[in-house]
Amino acid sequence: MGVPVAPRGRPGAAGRRWLVLLSPLLLVAMLARPAAALVEGLYCGTRDCYEVLGVSRSASKAEIARAYRQLARRYHPDRYRPEPGDEGLGRTPQSAEAAFLLVATAYETLKDEETRKDYDYMLDHPEEYYSHYYHYYSRRLAPKVDVRVVILVSVCAISVFQFFSWWNSYNKAISYLATVPKYRIQATEIAKQQGLLKKAKEKGKNKKSKEEMRDEEENIIKNIIKSKIDIKGGYQKPQIRDLLLFQILLAPFHLCLYIAWYCRWIYNFNIKGKEYGEEERLYIIRKFMKMSKSQFDSLEDHQKETFLKRELWIKENYEVYKQEQEEELKKKLANDPRWKRYRRWMKNEGPGRLTFVDD
């Protein structure tokens, strides 16, 4: 009887056991990275930065800077002259340029304490391959400018833009009020009573043209309007404390004031049950109307008196007032010819109507 032979192409039991044992080893070998400390693409590549500069790992900053200056003068491409000890560099300007870049890279690596600390850690722990890549590129790609400086400059720029924008709006409001007969007549009367217009005419005799005298009188009227009229809302006179920079600086102070005010409100009106004063009532009304403080302050005094008479700080009264305002607005729009044209256009030609045009 012949001895049975295992068919070709199919491993025996012993072969299968070897494959089972070798598979994890092969996987580890495929995933393993070289454990060499010097890796191409990081810092000085396969060259030691300390050896490039010719210094020891315990060298001070002054020694590193001194070695860099000597090598930089020696290998600068514009004034490189080959020396007897430069056989390894190829004795060419191209090799000198490569040596100069390598010396510069070594100096950039070792002059910074944090980067030098990462480099020394890489030399001592070559097995942490991915960690070295992360530290190297995180420092290399990080912004060089302090983020706090960028934020401060941005806030200052926004504040300057705010100030000039608000000042421009304020001047436009004054110029408009100077054209309104009601305010212009009053300002002119005040200027006459104070003798400002006579002084301007006397100064302008035989010295200024009519246009210059007219401009001076216009400035006098505008200055009187500025001093006599309190403009509120979006066109009010710009204040330094309203700028973004000062709002940020004063934010902790305002936060403390708000907390103290809120605690006092809870204690007086929720715990002790005091009645609301006029200021508190107007505050509640403003919150119901969802208006900012500047918007609410820009309302006329008679409107605020109407709000108080109707007791709009009470939620039920405000809901009735709101419904009345909506009904009144609907009536105005219904009688407005422009609104009628708009509704007619929406019905005949607006969205929701498909038309086909034959060429």
Whole-number Å distance between alpha carbons of 232 and 300: 10
239: amino acid identity, one letter: Q
Identify the H or E element spanning 11: none
- Phi, psi at residue 211, to the nearest 5°? -65, -40
- CB of 104 closer than 8 Å to CB of 72: yes
Task: Identify the three-state secondary structure at position 299.
Answer: coil
User: Residue 273 carries which side chain, given as an amino acid letter?
Assistant: G
φ, ψ for residue 291, nearest 5 deg: -110, 145
Number of Cβ within 10 Å of residue 283's Cβ equals 16
Concatenating the DSSP letter of every residue in 180-209 gives: SHHHHHHHHHHHHHTTHHHHHHHHHTTTS-
Structure tokens at 68: 């860099």
Contact 172, 238 (CB under 8 A): no
Rounded mean pLDDT for each run of 10 residues along the chain, 359 residues in total: 43 49 40 54 86 90 91 78 55 74 89 88 84 79 75 91 88 84 83 72 60 81 78 69 87 92 91 89 91 80 89 91 88 76 64 44
* CATH topology classification for 49-141: Helix Hairpins (1.10.287)
* CB-side neighbour CA atoms (13 Å) of 163: 14
> What pLDDT, on the 0 to 100 scale, is given for residue 82?
63
Q: Are 190 and 224 in contact (CB under 8 A)?
A: yes
How far, in Å, CA of 26 to CA of 13, rounded? Answer: 20
User: Which sign does the torsion angle of CA 200, 202, 208, 214 carry?
Assistant: positive
- Give the pLDDT score at 202: 59
3-state secondary structure of 33: coil
| Domain segments of the chain as ranges | 49-141, 148-199+209-238, 275-347
pLDDT of residue 91: 55
- Among 88, 84, 113, which Cα is nearest to 98's? 88
Q: How far is CA 231 from CA 170, 174, 194, 220, 307, in A?
A: 8, 9, 23, 18, 21
Determine contact, residues 43/108, Cβ cutoff 8 Å: no
Cβ atoms of 200 and 220 within 8 Å: the answer is: yes
